[in-house]
Amino acid sequence: MAKKTSTSTYQPGRNIEDIQKTYGLKNVIKLASNENPLGPSKKAISAANKMISSMNRYPDSQSSHLKQAINKLISKRNISTDNIIIGNGSNEILELVARKYLNNNSEVLFCKHSFLVYKIISNTMNAKIIESKIITKKGKDFMGIDLESMRSKITKKTKVIFIANPGNPTGTVLSINKIEKFVKTISKKIIIVIDEAYYEYASYYGFKSSISLLNKYNNIIITRSFSKIHALAGVRVGYGLASKEIISNFNKIRQPFNVNYVAQTMAMESLSDEKYLKKSLELNNIGMQFLKLEFKKLGISYIDSYTNFMTVYLGNNAQLIYEMLLSEGVILRPLDNYGLPSYLRVTIGTKDENVMFIKKLKKSLKRLK
């Protein structure tokens, strides 16, 4: 049996080598950590290879070129490089938020079943964690963030609100209109983090980023990741967008050389590789349509997702199916850590990986009969 885990310890997806060894398997696929199965952009790889011999040098502590590249990408929105911070993964930015704005006298608010890192960093600062409800009514917003519930949980002590849009592990989205309606009515003293780690996938399905709200609301921080669509999870790089004052606060408390040179270079190259990004999004969409169809045929329900993963309902059999799939060389993500023990999360893989996953899932379901 898999080990039970504490809710405040981040449990990464099992790794391929470990499963190969444990089960004596050659062919193992990992669909557990929402990584882009295509691997990084060729342009990014080639740039990284070229610079490896300069690794005796410290990286640019300002990540200036990467900031300029990001600024260029979002230039229409009156953002300057002073509104940008680069982090060792977007996780570092989330952590800076907690370190700067939370303490043992404050409350932090997020939705139930949110990304576990919010809980971990809030615990580190001894802040009181308040969780709002999710939408449980079946329909297009099923398992989405209930903003009314969130608003009702705000108190004088609330200092930070985390909203993942899209959410992980739910995959649900909020429209910018809903977000603005919410932001408008709450105190400007509360920091609102809108975590857009999966934004590119949602934008493929027509959802808008909250970037345009930055000009109107000084209390918003947007975080983005290079670990998902850009396939750079291993080098650790992400960014945050916020008012100059907030960014300057973060710069005062971050490590001077927080982002390594390879990460800065690969991220810059990847941003400009439009062909690669388009291909990644198209592959993801094809995979998503395939999986949806197969789940329907199998009578398995899933949460509507606007990301590169799907969260499926398997009831009391979820843990057993997770273990059966592991023994067949397919690594998914169990969600008991997230308070969703009846669900499993599957990252959309390459065509071959998706086919193998469905084949092994069918086999596991048959064994259960």
Ligand X SMILES: Cc1ncc(COP(=O)(O)O)c(C=O)c1O
197 binds ligand X (CB under 6 A): yes
89 binds ligand X (CB under 6 A): yes
Q: CA triplet 128, 130, 134: central angle to 5 degrees? A: 160
Q: What share of the chain is helix, strand, coil (3-state, %, to 5)?
A: 45, 15, 40
98 binds ligand X (CB under 6 A): no
Number of residues that bind ligand X (CB under 6 A): 13
Q: By three-state DSSP, how is residue 4 classified?
A: coil
CB 108 within 8 A of CB 102: yes
Comparison of 93 and 358: residue with beta carbon closer to ligand X: 93
Helix (H) or strand (E) holding 281: helix 274-298
Comparison of 240 and 328: residue with beta carbon closer to ligand X: 240
Q: How far is the CB of 92 from ligand X (least distance, A)?
A: 7
Q: By three-state DSSP, how is residue 221 classified?
A: strand
Q: How far is the CB of 204 from ligand X (least distance, A)?
A: 17
Residues in 247-276 that interact with ligand X by CB under 6 A? none
Comparison of 91 and 270: residue with beta carbon closer to ligand X: 91
Helix (H) or strand (E) holding 87: strand 84-87
Distance set, CA 37 to CA 40, 158, 280, 289 (Å): 9, 39, 9, 16
Query: Measured between alpha carbons, how far is 194 from 37 in angstroms, rounded to an integer?
Result: 25
Output DSSP code: residue 369. -
Q: How far is the CB of 187 from ligand X (least distance, A)?
A: 24
Stretch in the footprint of ligand X (CB under 6 A) among 8-16, 20-28, 87-95, 119-127: 87-95
Comparison of 11 and 20: residue with beta carbon closer to ligand X: 11
Stretch in the footprint of ligand X (CB under 6 A) among 8-16, 225-233, 257-265, 274-282: 225-233
Residues in 141-180 that interact with ligand X by CB under 6 A? 164, 168
Binding residue for ligand X, selected from 63, 158, 172, 225, defined by CB under 6 A? 225
Binding residue for ligand X, selected from 40, 59, 171, 238, defined by CB under 6 A? 238
364 binds ligand X (CB under 6 A): no
Residues 6+ apart with CB under 8 A from 257: 58, 59, 61
Contact residues toward ligand X (CB under 6 A) are 34, 89-91, 115, 164, 168, 195, 197, 225, 227, 233, 238
